[in-house]
Amino acid sequence: MTTPGFLARLGRRELSLLLLLCLAAGSAWIFIEIADEVVEGELHEIDRAILLALRTPGNPADPLGPGWLQEMGRDITALGGTLVTTLVTLAAAGFLALQGKRRAAVFVTVAIFSGTILGWLLKSGFDRPRPDLVPHGSIVSSSSFPSGHSMTAAIVYLTLAAVLIRVQTRRPLQLYLLSLALLITIAVGVSRVYLGVHWPSDVLAGWTAGAAWAVLWWAIALWMQRKGEVEMGPEA
């Protein structure tokens, strides 16, 4: 059986599920590669160069840009913090529950909070120290790898975008929701490096791990919707 023939036999939903699983596997593979490089110390010089590039030459204590840009960085980084992401998750779950989609509300809550727990476990396992080249622009207490804010932002906003996309039939709205989720996720990660609380490789690892988790649960949602076990929107 040829590959084109195999793909031709797949329905739209099966093809979407296959593509999502491949994307999740690819993201997980990239995370593993980054983690391996970090453990071996291969990315330290690149991390150091990027971190210092965001500081005034000769004065690592001074981030590039005016004071309002630093304040904006702290505002953006809060979008990936525990309080904001918890409130966003509960608000979205409440909205779904009030729409009569209680199983979908439970699904979203489990997907997001299980991903948060995974992030904590990864941090504890790698236990990488925070950057010490520059002063931290935000209070931190946990280890550095992977970036919890970046991973949580990817999990929360990409998962919610996936759910909202399922209830939209217009392609421009679907693209808008996905683009907005990606923009927030990227902005949160960049802010962590700008504030000096993470190495760039921490953020990249957080993005890939979070994306892998969100896409995996997106695939699970399609599978469960097909079985009628979760109400995610119109049939694909």
Nearest partner of 149 among 161, 137, 162, judged by Cα: 137
∠ Cα 208 213 217 (to 5°): 145
What's the confidence (pLDDT) of residue 3? Answer: 52
Contacts 24+ apart (CB under 8 A), 85-88: 85/112, 85/116, 85/152, 85/153, 85/156, 88/156, 88/160
Comparing 15 with 172, which gets the higher pLDDT? 172
How confident is residue 137, by pLDDT bands cut at 50, 70 and 90? confident
What is the average pLDDT across 134-139?
81
List pLDDT tens digits, range 60-118.
888 888 888 989 999 999 999 999 999 999 999 998 889 888 888 898 999 999 999 99
In whole angstroms, how far apart are CA 72 and each of 69, 77, 119, 188? Answer: 5, 9, 25, 11
Amino acid residing at 80: G
Domains annotated for the chain, with CATH where assigned, are 14-39+72-226 (1.20.144)
Whether residue 31 contacts residue 104, with contact meaning beta carbons closer than 8 Å, is answered with: no
- Dist CA 97 CA 156 (whole Å): 17
Comparing 222 with 130, which gets the higher pLDDT? 130
| Share of residues in the chain with pLDDT > 70 (%) | 89
Q: Given its phi and psi angles, is residue 58 left (phi above 0), alpha (psi -120 to 50 degrees) or beta? A: left
In 3-state terms the chain splits into helix, strand, coil percentages (rounded to 5) of 75, 5, 25
Task: Tell me which H or E stretch contains 193.
Answer: helix 171-194
What's the confidence (pLDDT) of residue 16? Answer: 75
- Dist CA 209 CA 29 (whole Å): 9
Read out DSSP for 104-167? HHHHHHHHHHHHHHHHHHHHHHH-PPPP-SS--SS---S--SS-HHHHHHHHHHHHHHHHHHHT
Number of CB atoms found within 10 A of residue 189's CB: 27
List pLDDT tens digits, range 170-227.
888 889 999 999 999 999 999 999 998 999 999 999 999 999 999 999 888 888 777 6
How confident is residue 133, by pLDDT bands cut at 50, 70 and 90? confident
What's the confidence (pLDDT) of residue 198? Answer: 92
Q: Please determine, for residue 1, whether its predicted confidence score (pLDDT) is greater than 50.
A: no
